[in-house]
Amino acid sequence: MSKTVQRSPLYAAILSLGLGLATPIVSLADSAVTINMPAQDLDQAVLDLAEQTGLIIGGDAALLRGKQAPAISGQLTPEQALRQLLQGSGVDFQFTGKAQVKLVAVPDSAGPTTLPPVKISAAAINSPQTSLDYGRDDIDAVQPRDIKELFKKDAAVAVGGSIPVNQKVYVRGVEETAMAVTIDGGRQNNKVFHHNATNLIDPSLLKAVRASAGVAPADDGPGAIGGSLVYETVDVADLLDPEDNFGGFVDGRYGSNGDQLTTGGSVYGRNGGFEALAYLNHSNGDDYEDGEGDTVRFTEPGLLSRLMKVAYENDQSDRFELTMENVNDESQRPYRANFVGLSAGRPVPESRIYDLSRENLTFNYSRDTAQGLWNPSVTIAKGETELETREVPLADPTALIVYTGITDSQSATFKNTFYTGFGEVVAGLDHYDDSAVFQYEGDPDLEEQAENIGAFIQFRQTIGEKLDLSYGLRHDRQEFTGTDGSSHDDSGTSGNIAADYYINDVLTAKAAYAHVWGGVALAENFILNGAWTYDDVKAVEADNYSVGLRTQLEQVFAEATMYKTDIENGRTPSYDGGANLTSDFKIDGYDLVLGYLGERSEFTIKYANIESEMDGVVASSYDGNYFTIPLGEIITVSGSYHFDKVPVTLGADAEHALENDDLESNGAKQDSYTVVNAYLNYAVSEALNLRLSIDNLTNEGYTDRASYGQEFTTVKTLLEPGRSIMVSARYSF
């Protein structure tokens, strides 16, 4: 799921405390390594060099933005390679340690000559636990409209649902609700209703996405049953050129299927260490047509997203940042928003209003100098998701029934990063106070609540020239309160270890393991019952394993990974069945990746085969809810070509899901399908970018493999949109 880089025989990345095992850092000036990098954006080239050599690069990343790096190759020391990349760019560097440099502006060039040492390279870049890592350039290249498009090139990341309000993410078969999910460091607790999305996200707000599938580091937070999923929103430095202090852009996108129009814009600026950003995005239009030519009712777009961010950073690397994010989708949706309807069961209206909102307010303070023993970080966050459904009952057309579910999470994290000559250690404390409330007029509010405090430590180190290690521990203590007011205390310890062993210059072996104690998970709001008793409520635990190989030879890379997640006492309450129900889940799978990354072209093919069980039998999309979903075999293919003399990029991607008959005993199998997308991107000027794309080129009629209900004959599933021709434009100023 991640791109591989050729291993250098140098100290790889910002490492952790040695514990008597590590060897001192190799002198950068004397160690030549094989470098082979294509011409590309300068900021990406510098990041790639940090990945390949372990060089810790600080300075203002904005100095690099909008500039091009030449192709470089040969036996070079990291110093020689960095100097070649920066030649003629107006940027120089200074060594601040044996493996640490700071970028500075060349005198008389644009930008200040003295820069705060904002870290560019980071331990997470080369962490053995990182299985997916998207940067801003990756996200910009896709220009995703929703979270499904963001992950569409990764076979091992499936997103069910055809519109944002019903989309859920599955990473290597594990639903995001069983992962530790954060946005800008703030914990997410958004499990409101199983018929709608868990984390409603506008991907155009994002600058980075990182997943640690299965085995997550201790500093990614509590409750990482199936790993962690980290989202970061854009900063001013991600959008402004180094020489500018003010800017903005306006976006427009039109899709022919449903006459759907998305408009957005942003303004941002900085002055004297202060910076501010405001962003607004809105979608509207009509219902789309599926690949069979039928209009899929109640699917019109209705997403409205807003982001505001203010920050201050001084010359001592102290950064204070306040982020306010709001995403809303309100419209008429199918009665059960994740499928069209049922041919059995109680009669219900065809549709109802779903008003889904997610709000985050996050304060972050950090001081990261990429050196020394005092690099503190503080995050204080409040996140809330509210779903209000409004329906007119069949029995009384004059009435209106309103149900409301509100999830809330207040979280705080303090941690410090210690940099030493042997490596890096991160230690800290975190706390969350989560609640799930259900409201119905005339009835008392129903609520479950969980409060947790945790202590953690995570080490990242390199032993010699062959082995990268990441390992850590955390201990959590939780107080859980049920709808009956009863309180239940419990505690547990989690541990993780991951290793990359570099067999030679082109082949790397990797392995990871984690045992996770997750406490008692809150039930979804819409099934809370005031009559529940909690005499046997249990904490969930999990064991995660992975092992694999990756290789890179010149411009060709390949990777193979096997993984397994065993979840014990996964909480599966039901309104009538009670609060104490649990099940055990087993998720097994493997990924294969083969790719080529050249100077002007790239191509990747990925294959994932994932099987899920619940209590020893194949898990369905119904009983696996909030933990897993049947996926089977999925292949994705993607590629692009950048023309040399004109600023044009051609690209295409495809997904092929093989037929899956594992659940045919339920009445139906999951059908195979192939969907193809293509685009042409034209950078008219530095200010104007145009894109023409065709989604579902062959007009395939299909239900996404990760969508609900395909294995049940009584469920009419939601088919994905048919062919759509899209035109989009961005004008920057």
Q: What is the pLDDT of residues 478-536, one digit of tens each?
A: 999 999 999 999 999 999 999 999 999 899 999 999 999 999 999 999 999 999 999 99
* Mean pLDDT, the chain, whole residue set: 89
User: Which comes out higher in pLDDT, residue 478 or 114?
Assistant: 478
Positive or negative, the CA dihedral 21, 27, 31, 35 is positive
Q: pLDDT, tens digit, for every residue of 462-475?
A: 998 899 999 999 99
Domains in the chain and their CATH numbers?
A: 28-126 (3.55.50.30), 230-368+375-449+456-732 (2.40.170.20)
Positive or negative, the CA dihedral 617, 621, 626, 627 is positive
User: Alpha-carbon dihedral of residues 696, 699, 703, 705, nearest 10 degrees?
Assistant: -50
The residues facing 565 across adjacent strands are 544, 587
173 pLDDT exceeds 80? Answer: yes
Q: Per-residue confidence at 97, pLDDT binned at 50, 70, 90?
A: low
Task: Give the whole-angstrom CA distance, residue 339 versus residue 716.
Answer: 6
Task: Give the whole-angstrom CA distance, residue 156 versus residue 705.
Answer: 12
> What is the reported pLDDT for 568?
98
- The owner of tokens 């207040």 is 410
The residues facing 540 across adjacent strands are 519
pLDDT, average across residues 668-691: 96
Per-residue tokens: 215: 């085995």
The length of the chain in residues reads 733
Cβ-contact 458, 217 below 8 angstroms: yes
The residues facing 728 across adjacent strands are 253, 691
User: Which comes out higher in pLDDT, residue 565 or 370?
Assistant: 565
Cβ-contact 227, 236 below 8 angstroms: no
Task: Give the whole-angstrom CA distance, residue 558 versus residue 560.
Answer: 7
Q: Per-residue confidence at 18, pLDDT binned at 50, 70, 90?
A: very low
User: Which comes out higher in pLDDT, residue 205 or 9?
Assistant: 205
Q: Identify how many contiguous H helices and E strands the chain contains and give both numbers.
A: 4, 40
121 pLDDT exceeds 70? Answer: no
Task: Give the whole-angstrom CA distance, residue 539 versus residue 672.
Answer: 38
Cβ-contact 582, 592 below 8 angstroms: no
> What is the reported pLDDT for 28?
42
Task: Give the whole-angstrom CA distance, residue 460 versus residue 220.
Answer: 14
The H-assigned helical ranges of 106-151 are: 136-142, 147-150
Beta strands 180-183 and 227-233: pairing type? Answer: parallel
Taking alpha carbons only, the member of 216, 173, 172, 212 closest to residue 518 is 216
Taking alpha carbons only, the member of 214, 196, 213, 194 closest to residue 151 is 213
User: Which comes out higher in pLDDT, residue 242 or 179?
Assistant: 179
Q: pLDDT, tens digit, for every residue of 576-622?
A: 999 999 999 999 999 999 999 988 999 999 999 999 999 999 999 99
